[in-house]
Structure 1
């Protein structure tokens, strides 16, 4: 019998899969998740298999691979991935694994190559994944056409690169079309990453997302951020007062005049785009509220565009202002460790030290990210206790967290092939 087939018989995670589905089906919707969802390594493995290997992820930005041969690499669980710009500007994505003996092809975070060459035995691939050279040692009957790189689903929209490791990924084209429209003013092909940071948090990835999906904690924890950020995402928020609604209306009139998209657009619970003004008198997320970059992006003439907030579950949130864009992505490492990357993006012709000062531009979110890291880590430490039990979410201050957990629960149950939870009946969680 084939050894691989033998080892695959009897999924060791099957009992955990059944327990996961049962816990999600039986949980109280408006309460936090049972402890294993935040701490158990078996459940973490299921998260990676059923969420991060099946949903669409933001791999990076098209401006990071501007020309033919430019590539970036990333790690999705145990899967190394390469995204590369090929001929005629086409973006490809592959498993970063040589088809000879499995070595990683590209070992740098970013770079530029003429061809993809494995350092181990020099097998050589075209930028579209075709095997070009394997040496005469493989024999005369060796068919190179059978050994191209294994592709990964990839789509681009509005300057973002989306990948999915699934054989049949979920539909996303409607969101991508809308994203392209909303990002048009920024001319994302003519931008660059001014600075990127990486933060490691000793907390489960879902705690990182839950923290992001509410501002219940903001007043006590984020003094720098609240110098410019208005908490509410929409005038329909039950806590929004008339002064806020008037501020939104005045801002919308100015955006209309410049043909800047701003209306709330949602795609189930997975994706949302909405532009909200910042505090009156501020135009960018800096400590003084003034522009972080003097050169505005794309066709934008008015720096006072507030912040266009883009949500992409399971792992990204974004703030798009007139002068720069901030892209956050969350990458699970283990049941209790998560990597958060933050990229500050500016016009490609903006000159550091002239048009922008990196330290000034990043200061607010450096502080905010670290504050959130501490909150998530303390949350994890408490959840690890034998005293932890699921607690109630606020339906007003934490509805965003409820939405995230609803989305996670539905996608997990669906991808596991389990029956949907009764409490999700009628909840539009995805396209």
Structure 2
């Protein structure tokens, strides 16, 4: 890795006097954090909802959250509300949560199960395929086929559900899915079950939550995590300091062992990093774990006795997947953890975390829920505090963008992906 060029502070003397978002985007300095208005301006927040969340594929749920026909979840993205529902053919469908009659919200609940989708206002009734089935007191010329629920683009990537709210969705999702699917397939997430889901309110702009996730420069602040997780993400051999050398030597040995296990499972051995070189930006790395190498517990011990899918070896490391703009995933031999970030205001966001286990795993028999969730509940809470302090710092008139370190390339890639989307919108 190479250090980024750092522009002098004088390049940001106009920070308090920015004129518009386009001006901010044009003067963004690569290798440095964003200017304060990107995190504090209501105008930028509205642009983010439109350009980022309104025009790109975003991760919204695990398919395991809607396992049976008629099961649904609703997702709130800014002013949008979307229904994800399993249809009678067991496919995941997505519709705007708006009645075609006079606009009433159809399903106010976060999650549930329906036979049909019935509007609570005037009882217009839709099938789980979105087709209008019943509308009382209509004239003979009324054509029900013209009033199906408005669909939303949806893709079920081996158990991970993405939507795109735009009329025309980015076309490179298929190419990315083709790369990712072989890595995900052994875990059979589409057959897994939800152990638990919880939402964490973040007192920070959604971008700060994502930037915090995209680096391990701060991982010493996660004592529960680094008992199993090597805090070396994005490090290269030349980045290793004397303090990290013993840890790095263990990492190399564990990585060699994991490569043999991956080969035995017939998995692709190549990792992928296209975080800012395409619209559906992603990174996929199959990483070793410390100690026993099995799961996120002390010394890498297992937390569930049943292995996911067709995984045969408990020491299967951590398949780490990042997807722009709002998600990351950790898949292990015995469970998976999926994360999504959704904006709720200029300075707040929601982090949703879901733990998935084998469909036959029984709580209290095959796993203990507290042990299963301990590491990421603690890590999320520690990160929540870091994000909140950064949000406060960005509102301080003394804040000016600072340089990224040599091990924060993925933060730079996230910010570059984001700024590129804004530039495209300007064009």
Displacement of 1:288 in angstroms is 4.6
* 1:91-144 CA distance string (max 9 Å, x none): 2100011011111111221211111111111000121111111102x3233222
1:340 aligns with 2:351: yes
Displacement of 1:236 in angstroms is 4.5
3-state DSSP class of the match of 1:104? coil
Cα-Cα RMSD: 1.8
3-state DSSP class of the match of 1:256? helix
TM-score by length of 2: 0.90
Provide the rounded CA distance (Å) in 2 between the counterparts of 1:29 and 1:18: 20
Matches within 5 A, 1:2-13: none
Matches within 5 A, 1:98-137: 98-136=99-137
* 1:148-188 CA distance string (max 9 Å, x none): 11110011112111100011111211111222211111122
Q: Is the 8 A contact 1:296 1:322 kept in 2?
A: yes
Q: Is the 8 A contact 1:94 1:129 kept in 2?
A: yes
3-state DSSP class of the match of 2:340? strand
Provide the rounded CA distance (Å) in 2 between the counterparts of 1:342 and 1:375: 18
Matches within 5 A, 1:265-344: 265-269=272-276, 270-344=281-355
Provide the rounded CA distance (Å) in 2 between the counterparts of 1:152 and 1:218: 38
Displacement of 1:256 in angstroms is 0.9
Structure 2: unaligned runs, 5 residues or longer: 1-17
Displacement of 1:343 in angstroms is 0.6
Matches within 5 A, 1:189-208: 189-208=190-209
1:57 aligns with 2:67: no
Equivalent residue number for residue 11 of structure 1: none
Provide the rounded CA distance (Å) in 2 between the counterparts of 1:284 and 1:354: 17
Equivalent residue number for residue 5 of structure 1: none
3-state DSSP class of the match of 1:87? coil
Provide the rounded CA distance (Å) in 1 between the counterparts of 2:369 and 2:70: 28
Equivalent residue number for residue 413 of structure 2: 403
3-state DSSP class of the match of 1:197? strand
Provide the rounded CA distance (Å) in 2 between the counterparts of 1:268 and 1:316: 12
3-state DSSP class of the match of 1:94? strand
Displacement of 1:289 in angstroms is 2.5
Displacement of 1:267 in angstroms is 3.5
Label 1:325 to 1:237 Cα distance change in 2 as closer, same or farther (>3 A): farther
Equivalent residue number for residue 161 of structure 1: 161
Displacement of 1:386 in angstroms is 1.1
Q: Is the 8 A contact 1:287 1:363 kept in 2?
A: no
Equivalent residue number for residue 37 of structure 2: 36
Q: Is the 8 A contact 1:83 1:94 kept in 2?
A: yes
1:251 aligns with 2:262: no
Q: Is the 8 A contact 2:290 2:299 kept in 1?
A: no
Equivalent residue number for residue 9 of structure 1: none
3-state DSSP class of the match of 2:120? coil
Equivalent residue number for residue 368 of structure 1: 379
3-state DSSP class of the match of 2:162? strand
| Length, aligned pairs only | 399
Q: Is the 8 A contact 1:57 1:315 kept in 2?
A: yes
* 1:56-108 CA distance string (max 9 Å, x none): 01121122222221111110111010011113222210001101111111122
Provide the rounded CA distance (Å) in 1 between the counterparts of 2:196 and 2:90: 24
Displacement of 1:259 in angstroms is 2.3
Equivalent residue number for residue 3 of structure 2: none
Displacement of 1:413 in angstroms is 1.2
1:224 aligns with 2:224: yes
3-state DSSP class of the match of 1:88? coil
* 1:4-54 CA distance string (max 9 Å, x none): xxxxxxxxxxxxx98222211212111111111001111101100100011
Equivalent residue number for residue 143 of structure 2: 143
* 1:349-369 CA distance string (max 9 Å, x none): 000000000001111111110
Q: Is the 8 A contact 2:198 2:354 kept in 1?
A: yes
Provide the rounded CA distance (Å) in 2 between the counterparts of 1:159 and 1:176: 12
* 1:187-238 CA distance string (max 9 Å, x none): 223211101111001100011011111111111x111111111123468564
* 1:277-300 CA distance string (max 9 Å, x none): 011334111235311111001111
Provide the rounded CA distance (Å) in 2 between the counterparts of 1:29 and 1:69: 47
Provide the rounded CA distance (Å) in 2 between the counterparts of 1:111 and 1:314: 27
